[in-house]
Amino acid sequence: MTFDIQKIRQDFPILARTVHGKPLVYLDNAATTQKPRQVIDALVHYYEHYNANIHRGLHTLAEEATAAYEESRLKAGRFINAAHPEQEIIFTRNTTEGINLVAHGWGRKNLKSGDEILFSAIEHHSNLVPWQMIALETGAKVRYVDIDETGHLVWDDLLEKLNAKTKIVAISQMSNVLGTINDVKAIAEVAHKFGAVLLIDGAQSVPHMPVDVQDLDCDFLAFSAHKMLGPTGVGVLYGKRDILNAMDPFLGGGEMIMKVTYEESTYAALPNKFEAGTPNIADVIAFGAAIGYLEGLGMDAVREHEIAITQYAIDALSRVEGVKIFGPEDAHEKGGAVTFNYGDLHPHDLSQVLDQEGVAIRAGHHCAQPLMRRLGVVATARASFYIYNTNEDVDALVDALGAADRIFGSSSSEARGGAGHAVTA
């Protein structure tokens, strides 16, 4: 399965702009993706034609807005093959809020002193900090599974640390730094043998590859719209219906209640129990257009394209003297992100020079400070790809590295610390 990249690029108005007089080469897709005209139009159409609050009004605009909002819920559920999308899809602001919802709504009720929370060494802060906070509150203990020199989880370490005390395994399906794809289906199987539940951070995986929650048998999955062509401010938490029903609400207020007296309240059925207050109606509706766009391409084709361009980037950067690439070398084992350093240049300096050449990358700790320390670096540069990126974009990145070398000096392997792939222990 393939698609016409040049035709796709025409759907993205921002790709026509220039930066510092150079054509924009956008390689920061792991942070957020650009938006096609179809999504922008859906957002504008809502505000121009049926802007109204949902679930409460009986007039035409309210009914139209409610129908469009709930259609996006069904689309999101179908996209990840939820068994009961009308109940199992909770709209949040982002992946972070979805994980916090689980940490507070499930963790407060189910964790106690002596219990263990297991995550991995490659987690984003969004899947670390909430569990640290809830561990302090409940007396549970946090533990992590280590990685090997290629950036993969050490399976023996996972099996050693999984035990009867483990109550939840919280793990990313795809690393936002190394791109490593974790075998979350196998992790679900072993976690469930110990009676633990599995939460998947799908912020990087859901936009880039087919994800089937029933096949994976995960208990929770969180992801964000803005990383898959949708607007910012919209996230999805999937949870198995029985588990969500047993959880307490995360936020209290309007819309999430069944009955309220001065003394007490009862809560609404799923999914309303977890969606207090007026939601981000317009952006949820536009998110439905983003899902439709990706479905039109086919997620198998999206994955196929990213494997090809990621491998092209790995090979191209490996030929640049002084570049060190972190994580798996085989694009089939990772997502569309290549994290690297260029000799002794600080990634922030490198990013600024590349920006002058019109090339947008990410530089810093990528909200994964523990992983940076595990890698033995303070920061890295990251080029990340999506459906509209081409091999020519990679070539522009490589050419821009040449500009950085001309500004900062020699690119000799000795001066820049050598080239190649590595995960430093």
Which domains are seen in the chain, by residue range?
Answer: 5-30+298-421 (3.90.1150.10), 40-295 (3.40.640.10)
What long-range pairs does 79-83 form, CB within 8 A, spacing at least 24?
79/206, 79/211, 79/291, 79/294, 79/295, 80/202, 80/206, 80/211, 80/212, 80/213, 80/221, 80/238, 81/211, 81/212, 81/213, 81/214, 81/215, 82/213, 82/214, 82/238, 83/214, 83/241
Q: Is 424 exposed, middle or buried (0-12, 13-18, 19+ CB in 10 A)?
A: exposed
- The pLDDT of residue 1 is 59
Any idea which residues carry the catalytic annotation? 367
Distance CA 354, CA 178 (A): 21
The count of C-alpha atoms lying within 13 angstroms of the C-alpha of 131, restricted to the half-sphere facing its C-beta, is: 25
- The pLDDT of residue 56 is 82
Which is nearest to 148 in space by CA: 178, 171, 174, 126?
178
Q: In terms of DSSP H, where are the helices of 256-298?
A: 281-297
Q: Could you read off the pLDDT tens digit of each residue along the chain, which spans 425 residues?
A: 578 999 999 999 999 999 999 999 999 999 999 999 999 999 999 999 999 999 988 999 999 999 999 999 999 999 999 999 999 999 999 999 999 999 999 999 999 999 999 999 999 999 999 999 999 999 999 999 999 999 999 999 999 999 999 999 999 999 999 999 999 999 999 999 999 999 999 999 999 999 999 999 999 999 999 999 999 999 999 999 999 999 999 899 988 989 999 999 999 999 999 999 999 999 999 999 999 999 999 999 999 999 999 999 999 999 999 999 999 999 999 999 999 999 999 999 999 999 999 999 999 999 999 999 999 999 999 999 999 999 999 999 999 999 998 888 744 333 343 344 444 33
Tell me the two tokens of residue 41.
Answer: 């139009």
Are 351 and 404 in contact by the 8 Å Cβ rule? The answer is: no
- The pLDDT of residue 207 is 98
- The pLDDT of residue 97 is 98
| Identity of residue 202 | G
Specify which residues 382 forms β-bridges with.
Answer: 339, 362
- The pLDDT of residue 422 is 45
Distance CA 170, CA 179 (A): 17
Tell me the two tokens of residue 142.
Answer: 């946090």
- The pLDDT of residue 199 is 98
Distance CA 280, CA 324 (A): 42
